[in-house]
């Protein structure tokens, strides 16, 4: 490196120190870190928001490093984060004794989720002191929604103390039954107060995202309802993902290839056999309209069909037979080119309110009927 550029600096991920911490004791860590002249190596403390290395290694034993937030794996869509770690962790690293921290980084594997997390760390990069998070969240909600609303501020305080105080050290938080082959529900009524200021896209996004998260904890019978909800916001459309890939194609062959790649990336990598699924299945799973009803629902239905059959016939579950059927379906779905909507449809506020009443309301369910009406706009309605 030095022969090619005398000013070159080696940028090294610090992930190895975390993923195999049993091996990397002080002597083992110092060996590679001190084998490079000081100032010629910078280490990325890649997972400092959850498993920081700097605080157990005396700031990488004098080697300059960047405090990084990893946060997201595979671009999964799930509301979670550790706001306290972002607010205080990087400040502690920066002002600590003998600190060699030289910067702040974001190393997420996917973005376009949890805007509050990325808003906070982007701001903390320019702060030298910790923030009072409850006050910061009030300011954040004012900026995001355009005005102060007490119920919304209260909702964000609940979210801060629950899903945004996620200290379970689990790397994959999107393990809901719907996308894997229950968070509080009381925040939704507060965010339904957004009807007073409804219309700005940011407000719609937060409402759809929270309602999606709550409903997803209830399991497979909700897939169609959640798909309708997600269809009401452009950020949750499978069609937008496929369109972004297809726009790169210059001929029919590339069009087919790029769409296949886009479909494969968010479902299962293509190293499966007829009866054995890839180990990299559902790594980049997404809660998207079109993907839920078009892919996850048929897959789940296939599983439960086989499960019920085995129970009726008092036989062991025929794992290989089930895998053969759903992997065949997967391959056909990945190779297909059916079109999915690329524009939002329906009133997100009306849908969220109806879904809340349907699943969490206090109405006498025996006297109510819940159904979808598609009269121009896709809305879930409740009728007596």
What dihedral do alpha carbons 59, 64, 69, 72 form, nearest 10°? -110
Question: Does residue 232 register a pLDDT over 80?
Answer: yes
Helix (H) or strand (E) holding 20: none
Residue 40 pLDDT > 70: yes
Residue 252 has pLDDT above 90, yes or no: yes
- DSSP H helices, the chain, are 15-19, 26-33, 58-61, 83-84, 90-95, 115-124, 133-145, 150-161, 177-180, 187-191, 201-216, 223-230, 238-246, 252-265, 291, 297-312, 319-335, 348-360
Handedness of CA 282, 287, 288, 294 (dihedral sign): positive
- Note the pLDDT tens digit of each residue in 134-146: 999 999 999 988 8
DSSP type of residue 88:
I
Distance CA 67, CA 69 (A): 7
Q: What local confidence, expressed as pLDDT, does residue 215 receive?
A: 66
Q: What is the pLDDT of residue 312?
A: 82
Output the DSSP codes for 244-287: HHHTT-SSHHHHHHHHHHHHHHTSB-S---SSS--TTBSTT---
pLDDT, residue 75, reads 80
Inter-residue contact 73 to 94 (CB < 8 Å): no
Contacts of 269 (CB under 8 A, 6+ apart): 278, 280, 281, 283
pLDDT of residue 171: 57
**Domains in the chain, ordered, with CATH?**
10-170 (3.20.20.80), 238-335 (no CATH)
Residue 300's nearest CA partner among 212, 359, 219, 211 is: 219
Tell me the angle at which helices 133-145 and 115-124 cross, rounded to the nearest 10 degrees: 120
- Per-residue model confidence as pLDDT tens digits over 47-66: 999 999 999 999 999 999 99
pLDDT digits (tens, 9 = 90+) for 271-322: 677 777 777 777 888 889 999 989 988 888 887 788 778 878 888 888 888 8
Give helix 201-216 / helix 133-145 axis angle, nearest 10°. 120
pLDDT over 70 at 101, yes or no: yes
**Cα angle value 10/15/20 (rounded, 5°):** 125
Which of 16-25, 290-299, 300-309, 350-359 has the lowest average pLDDT? Answer: 300-309
Q: What is the pLDDT of residue 248?
A: 96
How confident is the model over 67-71, as a mean pLDDT?
93
Which pair of tokens denotes residue 155? 């909702």
Pairwise pLDDT comparison (3 vs 180), residue with the higher score: 3
H-only helix segments in 162-251? 177-180, 187-191, 201-216, 223-230, 238-246
Give the residue-averaged pLDDT of 213-237.
79
237 contacts 340 by C-beta, under 8 angstroms: yes
Rounded mean pLDDT, 342-371: 74
Whether 117 has a pLDDT exceeding 90, the answer reads yes
Name the least confident of 11-15, 117-121, 145-149, 233-237.
145-149
Lowest mean pLDDT among 102-111, 143-152, 238-247, 267-276: 267-276
C-alpha triplet 294, 115, 230: angle, nearest 5°: 25
pLDDT at 373: 43
Query: Span 159-167, mean pLDDT?
Result: 85
Distance CA 65, CA 11 (A): 9
pLDDT tier, 188 (very low <50, low <70, confident <90, very high otherwise): very low
DSSP state of 215: H
CA 306 from chain centre, in angstroms, equals 30
Q: Among the ranges 103-112, 230-239, 305-314, 364-373, which has the highest mean pLDDT value?
A: 230-239
């Amino acid at each position: 490196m030095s022969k090619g550029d005398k000013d070159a600096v080696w940028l090294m991920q610090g992930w190895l120190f975390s993923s195999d911490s049993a091996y990397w004791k002080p002597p083992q860590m110092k060996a590679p870190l001190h084998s490079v002249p000081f100032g010629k190596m910078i280490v990325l403390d890649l997972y400092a928001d959850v498993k920081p290395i700097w605080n157990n290694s005396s700031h990488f034993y004098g080697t300059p490093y960047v405090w990084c937030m990893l946060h997201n794996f595979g671009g999964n869509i799930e509301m979670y984060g550790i706001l306290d770690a972002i607010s205080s962790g990087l400040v502690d690293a920066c002002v600590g004794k003998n600190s060699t921290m030289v910067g702040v980084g974001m190393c997420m594997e996917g973005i376009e989720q949890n805007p509050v997390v990325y808003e906070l760390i982007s701001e903390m990069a320019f702060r030298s002191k910790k923030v009072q998070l409850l006050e910061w969240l009030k300011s954040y909600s004012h900026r995001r929604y355009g005005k102060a609303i007490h119920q919304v501020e209260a909702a964000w305080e609940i979210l801060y103390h629950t899903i945004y105080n996620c200290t379970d050290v689990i790397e994959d938080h999107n393990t809901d039954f719907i996308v894997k082959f229950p968070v509080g529900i009381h925040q939704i009524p507060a965010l339904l107060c957004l009807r007073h200021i409804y219309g700005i896209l940011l407000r719609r996004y937060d409402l759809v995202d929270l309602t999606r998260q709550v409903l997803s904890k209830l399991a497979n019978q909700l897939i169609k309802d959640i798909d309708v909800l997600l269809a009401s916001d452009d950020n949750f459309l499978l069609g937008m993902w496929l369109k972004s890939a297809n726009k790169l194609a210059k001929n029919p062959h590339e069009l087919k290839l790029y769409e296949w790649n886009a479909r494969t990336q968010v479902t299962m990598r293509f190293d499966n056999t007829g009866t054995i699924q890839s180990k990299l299945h559902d790594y980049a799973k997404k809660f998207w309209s079109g993907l839920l009803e078009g892919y996850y629902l048929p897959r789940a239905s296939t599983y439960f069909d086989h499960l019920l059959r085995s129970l009726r016939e008092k036989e062991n579950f025929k794992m290989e037979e089930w895998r053969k059927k759903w992997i065949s379906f997967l391959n056909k779905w990945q190779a297909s080119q059916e079109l999915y909507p690329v524009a939002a449809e329906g009133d997100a506020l009306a849908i969220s309110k109806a879904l809340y009443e349907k699943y969490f309301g206090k109405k006498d369910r025996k006297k109510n009927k819940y159904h979808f009406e598609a009269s121009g706009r896709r809305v879930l309605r409740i009728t007596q």
